[in-house]
């Protein structure tokens, strides 16, 4: 610290001003980068950050990986019948449930309009089940505490890879399972307002 103070004392007023400006620009750049990486509606990292994370995981594979693919049900119907504000609220409630399980080895990204993906490098298969259980509890609590007009239901699919897994195959399997879950939910007659 003394060396920095000594250097600052040697700078002219213009030099100190330039240094302060560089520090402000650096802080501004960090804030801007954070905003660009986070989806403004949900506060979760967006598609670009997801692809960057997957590229890193492909380049340096983890010992194991868990994927959970989520798809929010009835977004279009909410938008069409109640307006886009209702659709935004639906997505925000979904994101709130995802924030409840983010961290401790779980990264969740908004990859598309109503699609989200959780990636869990170096996890045990049982960790996926624990995350699903915690997420379902959070979603049930959010729906119970809501206004009753917008109930959030979400299809999900999981996959686990270990050993010499192919990341693309694990991702594809989780996606296929999510579509199976969505099909089951539709066949069971799940409508807006139902809780799952």
Q: What are the pLDDT digits (tens) for 139-159?
A: 999 999 977 778 899 999 999
Give the Cα separation of 65 and 45 in Å (integer). 19
Degrees, nearest 5: CA angle 76-94-133: 130
Q: What does pLDDT average to over the chain? A: 85
pLDDT (0 to 100) of residue 84: 87
pLDDT (0 to 100) of residue 20: 63
Q: In what order do the strands lie in the sheet with 64-72?
A: 107-110, 115-121, 64-72, 154-162
Please give the CATH topology (third level) of the domain spanning 47-187. Alpha-Beta Plaits (3.30.70)
**CA neighbor of 52 nearest in space, from 97, 96, 111, 104:** 111
pTM for this entry? 0.78
């Amino acid at each position: 610290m003394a060396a920095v103070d000594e250097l600052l004392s040697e700078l002219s007023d213009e030099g100190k001003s330039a240094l302060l400006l560089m520090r402000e620009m650096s802080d501004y750049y960090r804030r801007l980068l954070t905003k660009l990486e986070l989806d403004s509606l949900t506060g979760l990292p967006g598609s670009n950050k997801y692809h960057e994370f997957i590229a890193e995981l492909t380049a340096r594979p983890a010992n194991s990986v868990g994927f959970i693919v989520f798809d929010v049900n009835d977004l279009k119907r909410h938008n069409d019948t109640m307006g886009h504000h209702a659709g935004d609220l639906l997505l925000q409630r979904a994101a709130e449930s995802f924030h409840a399980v983010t961290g401790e080895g779980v990264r969740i990204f908004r990859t598309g309009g109503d699609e989200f993906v959780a990636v869990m490098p170096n996890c045990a298969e049982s960790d996926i089940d624990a995350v699903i259980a915690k997420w379902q509890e959070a979603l049930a609590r959010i729906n119970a505490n809501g206004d009753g007009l917008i109930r959030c239901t979400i299809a999900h699919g999981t996959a686990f890879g270990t050993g010499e897994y192919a990341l693309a195959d694990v991702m594809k399997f989780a996606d296929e399972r999510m579509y199976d879950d969505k099909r089951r939910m539709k066949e069971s007659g799940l409508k807006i307002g139902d809780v799952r």
